[in-house]
Structure 1
Amino acid sequence: MTAAFGGPGPASPTDPAGACPYGRTTGASLLPPHEATGELGALDLFGTGFVRDPYPWLDTLRAEAPVHHDPATGLWLVSRYDDIRRVLLDPAVFRPDNAQHAITPLGVPALRLLARAGFRVRPALANNGSETHAGLRRVVTRFFNAQRVAAAVPVIERVADELLDTVGTEIDADGGSDLFGAFAHTLPCRVMMELLGIDGLDTATLVRWSDASLELFWGRPTPERQLELSTLVAEFHRWLTAVVSDRTAPEDSFVGALVRHRLPDGKLLDVQTAVGACFFVFVAGQSTTGQLIATVLRGALEESGIWQRAAHEEGLARAWVEEVLRREPPVTTWRRVTERSVELGGVRLPAGAELLLMLMGSGSDPAVFDAPEEMRPYRANARHHLAFGVGRHRCPGASLARTEAAVALRAAARRFPGLRLTPDAPPPPVLDLLSFRAPLRVPVSP
């Protein structure tokens, strides 16, 4: 399940917060569920306690309230594996229409700024429950199939080596480096731009646009921060609109295939829907994959022996990536809305109920995964996790994300076998958006 977003949508207001570089860090109670007043009544999905260590809360939700109404967001939190899988496999009853709505209502100044840029992303992929979804998905999937991903491995390895040269230079000059900023956050963006034939734009700009989009639609930005983010999102939208509207892209390119795609009624895909599909791919292919890589690298450095083994043990890097996806996926939640009244997890939900699927919690469900708190590469059912979703909306870029993360770990471990997390470094800031979580720094020393 990868990231995508649409235009501003209704949502319940929450307190402003964020995490560098996406915003400001939160300051809510650090009490775990069993110590917090009112048990689940103290749950804050954006609070420091949940962001830093969500597992006690997720365990409590699964055990005591597997379908729990969160009054702060107005969302029904669904935490058991079987319930989440059922929702994802039934898009007729559990529709994806709200998947990309802004969780925090945007103020009038931000909305006006976006409107002046012509910002409007129609249902394309993650939020599309209509008959047009299947055809659009086929277009996108064609660029991320197994054959193309296999052919991309040399590109990923070359870009990884180039970025690791910079890491080495920083270590030599300063005695350390940050694998998030210097490596993980940039690698997938450069790879994606090469694979999709994106020219005339520097990597840093696309990274900045993508990160701003995530924070604006999945964070709790203040009105002032909303204006800053909306400015960047507007720039992103104008650029994408210009690229799509040009309609001179080669037929075998990603944009060229989109603008030549015909809908079920025979009409050419409209510009705004094509822009929406590009948003989906660019944000997912850059930000969330970078977050996965950062989590994979930090975990491998923390877990005894994994870093050293990953450099030479065939298959370990991929097995480690799979365990990270199960236990600590970068996309932690996703949304659905009920088409009609339905019972889920013993709770009767009304039509129009907005659900938050706790993907991260599903990977730690003891009914499915033995000793889920333990990181066990080569776990027999590791790939049964729901980090990429399941069914018709399963992430089309799953194979590429897995491959990039495994190549990144293997390349970094081979280049710097003695690398370690910088001793006594403060805890890294953690991305604290509604559906995304990752360390925002991976400080390392030789």
Structure 2
Amino acid sequence: MTPQALDLPASAISRLDLFGEGFVSEPHPWLDTLRTEAPVHQDPGTGLWLVSRYHDIRRVLVDPAAFHPDNAQAAVTPLPVGVLRVLARAGFKLPPALANNGTDSHHGLRRVVTRFFNAQRVAAAVPVIERIADELLDAAQRRLDATGSCDLFEAYAQILPCMVLMELLGIDGVDPATLVRWSDASLELFWGRPTPERQLELAVLVGEFHQWLTATVSAAPARPGSFVEALTRHRLPGGRPVDVETAVGACFFVFIAGQSTTGQLISTALHRALVEPGLWSRAGGADEQGLAQAWVEEVLRREPPVTTWRRVAAGPVALGGVDLPAGAQLLLMLMGSGSDPEVFDAPDRMCPHRENARHHLSFGVGRHRCPGASLARTEAAVALRAAARRLPDARLAGPDEQPPILGLLSFRAPQRVRVAV
């Protein structure tokens, strides 16, 4: 599915619905129009100020004193009283920990996370990723042989990063499919536009997730060498140990970022590789060892799984020629920034080995840059290379050239990659 290069009139901005089918299915024409005609635009549907140009977005991300991260994990759709009661009964709280933390505790907590995802650990994880990928592809091949088709999203892309993360962080005693369900429910509840009835269903799952995280963090002693043990040994400013609620908040973010968004990246990389002429066969070949990595980087630039992120203006500020009041809620259009022609030549074309591909902002920049960026890149490249090698004759099955798309405020990816041979 290649987004069409359509031109939208500036007047179309008034019809923009960030959750609507038109924007979710083909966001780039809307993003191009925003960037050209209204680079800082207040969306009447959400009240958020949409920031679309690369340099404006980068300015916001590198200045945490002027633009706070406090709203990064706040629910986009207000939670009704019944939903709040469900969450309260589960003890659900998200104190400042990582993505939503603008306090002096952020640096130390972030350091705990980055130690688990540094270059040495990621390199050592490659055999683990390859082993799990092979196991999942064995099952996918059996399904293909038996039925003639297989959904690589459900059977492979969605589950692979969860299983990898569980091994790397020392997590066991829970089914990976359950973790995926909990994580996806959290994304939908806090970044989606669900109905009140659906919010109640999601709140039950999010409550279960939080209770499991709380029990895992509270269990003594923590598994030696595990992520939880590292959190419990960490000391906050002033020498205080990490409290359970903060540790749970850190785990909540790491699990969602480490499994759901990485699975979305893998899904998009696979789908785009299957529709790009000649790419699939080359990605699995031995002659172009770096092609899978280069393809993943272009996907991150053009079709990132994390499409937007939020910030709050600490005080009155001028941005992109617009005067914003203190407290203005900003939505940084990360996907659109990767197609800014002031930074990227021919941005609508997928060009592996693009010279400045890594200049994209899909992992953020500055003190809140994603600490798992290297692992996500590596997992997606290994996943693409392994699938293309094991299933060289795979092709998208029928209507899956235009699959259903996850369309949350900050997350977007194909929800099905059904292949046949």
Question: Considering the TM-score relative to the shorter chain, is it more than 0.5?
Answer: yes
Which residue number in structure 1 is paired with residue 292 of structure 2? 317
1:445 matched residue in structure 2? 420
1:336 and 1:45 map into 2 onto residues whose CA distance is 17
Alpha-carbon distance, 1:386 to partner: 0.3
In the alignment, the residues of structure 2 paired with residue 413 and residue 434 of structure 1 have an alpha-carbon distance, to the nearest angstrom, of 31
1:405 has 2:380 as partner = yes
> CA–CA distance in 2 between the matches of 1:45 and 1:53?
11
2:205 counterpart of 1:232: yes
- Whole-angstrom distance in 1 between the partners of 2:199 and 2:34: 32
In the alignment, which residue of structure 1 is the partner of 2:131? 158
Contact 2:42–2:48 (8 Å) recurs in 1: yes
Specify every segment of 5 or more residues in structure 1 that has no aligned partner in the other structure, as ranges. 1-30
CA shift for structure 1 position 322: 0.1
Q: What residue in structure 2 maps to residue 420 of structure 1? A: 395
Q: C-alpha distance in 2, partners of 1:38/1:308?
A: 43
Q: Tell me: CA distance 1:262–1:193, structure 2 relative to 1, closer, same or farther (3 Å).
A: same
Q: Normalized per residue, which structure has more helix?
A: 2
Q: Does 1:142 align with 2:115?
A: yes
Choose which of 198, 203, 219 in structure 1 pairs with 2:176. 203
- Structure 1 counterpart of 2:375, which letter? L
For residues 347 and 436 of structure 1, the distance between their equivalents in structure 2, rounded to whole angstroms, comes to 27
Deviation, 1:364, is 0.2
Q: Does structure 2 retain, via aligned residues, the 8 Å contact 1:428–1:441? A: yes
Of 288, 300, 303, the match for 2:273:
300
- The amino acid that maps onto 2:359 is H
Q: Which amino acid letter does the alignment assign opposite residue 346 of structure 2?
A: A
- Give yes or no for the alignment of 1:373 onto 2:348: yes
Q: How far is the alpha carbon of 1:425 from its aligned partner? A: 4.2
CA distance in 2, matches of 1:378, 1:336: 32
Partner of 1:179: 152
- Asked if 1:215 is matched to 2:170, the reply is no
Aligned to 1:46: 19
User: For residues 7 and 17 of structure 2, what CA distance do their matches in structure 1 show?
Assistant: 14
Q: Distance in 2 between matches of 1:125 and 1:314?
A: 35
What residue number does 2:66 align with? 93
TM-score w.r.t. the length of structure 2 is 0.97
Per-residue CA deviation, residues 67-97 of structure 1 (Å, 9 max, x unaligned), is 0010110000000000000000000000000
What is the one-letter code of the residue matched to 2:183? S
Aligned length: 416
Give the superposition deviation at 1:250. Answer: 3.6
Shift of 1:209: 0.3
Match of 1:192 in 2: 165
Among 38, 58, 61, the alignment partner of 2:34 is 61
In structure 1, how many angstroms separate the alpha carbons of the residues matched to 2:5 and 2:119? 42
TM-score under structure 1 normalisation?
0.92
Aligned pairs (5 A) from 1:210-359: 210-312=183-285, 313-359=288-334
What is the alpha-carbon distance in structure 1 between the residues aligned to residue 409 and residue 116 of structure 2?
A: 29
Q: 2:315 touches 2:325 (CA, 8 Å); kept in 1?
A: yes
Deviation at 1:422, TM superposition (A): 1.1
**Contact 2:170–2:225, Cα closer than 8 Å, also in 1:** no
Tell me the secondary structure at the aligned position of residue 438 of structure 1: strand
| Cα distance in 1 for residues equivalent to 2:6 and 2:399 | 28
Question: Shift in Å at residue 427 of structure 1?
Answer: 2.5
Counterpart residue number, 1:18: none
In the other structure, the counterpart of 1:11 is none
State the percentage of identical aligned residues. Answer: 73
More off after superposition, 88-97 vs 243-252: 243-252
Task: State the distance in 1 between where 2:7 and 2:148 align.
Answer: 42
> C-alpha distance in 1, partners of 2:412/2:147?
28
Aligned residue type for 2:292? A
C-alpha distance after superposition, 1:319-356 (max 9, x if no partner): 00000000000000000000000110011111000000
CA contact (8 A) 2:8 2:33 kept: no
Query: Counterpart of 2:132 in structure 1: which amino acid?
Result: V
Among 128, 137, 140, the alignment partner of 1:167 is: 140
* Aligned 8 A contact 1:32 1:49 in 2: no
Is the CA contact (8 Å cut-off) linking 2:217 and 2:228 kept in structure 1? yes
Instruction: Confirm or deny: 8 A CA contact 1:33 1:43 kept in the other structure.
Output: no
Indicate the residue corresponding to 2:100 in structure 1. 127
> What is the CA distance between 1:38 and its match in structure 2?
3.8
Question: 1:388 and 1:36 mapped to 2: Cα distance?
Answer: 30
- Tell me, yes or no, if the aligned pair for 2:8 and 2:29 is still in contact at 8 Å: no
Q: CA deviation at 1:418?
A: 1.0
Deviates more, 1:64-73 or 1:245-254: 245-254
Counterpart amino acid of residue 171 in structure 1: L
2:405 is paired with a residue whose SS is coil
SS at structure 1 position matched to 2:323:
strand
**What does the per-residue CA deviation read over 1:26-62, in whole Å, with 9 as the maximum and x for residues that have no partner?**
xxxxx99966794211000000000000001000001
Gaps of 5+ in 2: none
Cα distance, 1:247 vs structure 2: 3.5
1:102-152, CA deviations, whole angstroms, 9 ceiling, x for partnerless residues? 000011111001001111110000000010000000001100000000000
User: Residues 35 and 358 (structure 1 numbering): CA distance in 2 closer, same or farther, change over 3 Å?
Assistant: closer
